Amino acid sequence: MHPADLDLARLAGAQLAARTAHHLLNTPLTLALGYSDLLAEDSRLPPELRVLAAEASDSIQTAADVLRRLMRIRRLVERDIGLPSGPVLELADSAPETISAS
């Protein structure tokens, strides 16, 4: 396989994985975010528990943001962070927040 074709195939594989994860995790994340928010605003709970629920909500929102970002993968820029399983994607370069017109 030509190296350019291989790159395209790898990119397509990454986009397929991202799309699948986004599709499968959307509803579970919606439930987790919804219930953690409802708990965080529940005045019957002690304040310290409401703070924990709010922290859970923030983390779920972060996870949702990462998933959304993965849907924007346009190229593969890898970064070796020492994981035995291999490199990870450098999201800032692989999935830019804004896509240039060029």
Partner 1 sequence: MVSETFLPAPQDNICALVVGEHPEMRRMLKLILAGLALHVDEVSSNHQLLHTFSKVPRVVVVDVDPAYAQGMAVWHALRRNALTAHVPSVFLVEAGNKFIRHMATIAGATVCLDKPFHPRHLRTIVTDLLSSTTPPDAPDAHRSGVRHPAAL
CA Rg, the chain, in Å? 18
> Could you say which residues in the range 54-93 bind partner 1, by CB under 8 A?
57, 60-61, 64, 68, 71-72
30 binding partner 1? (CB under 8 A): yes
Q: CB-wise, 74 or 79, nearer to partner 1?
A: 74
14 binds partner 1, rule: CB under 8 A? no
Burial string for 74-86 (b: 16+ CB within 10 Å, else e) reads eebeeeeeeeeee
Query: Given the complex with partner 1, which of 14 and 22 has the nearer CB atom?
Result: 22
d(Cα 64, Cα 26) in Å, to the nearest integer? Answer: 8
> CB 25 → partner 1: shortest distance, Å?
9
Q: Which amino acid is at 42?
A: D
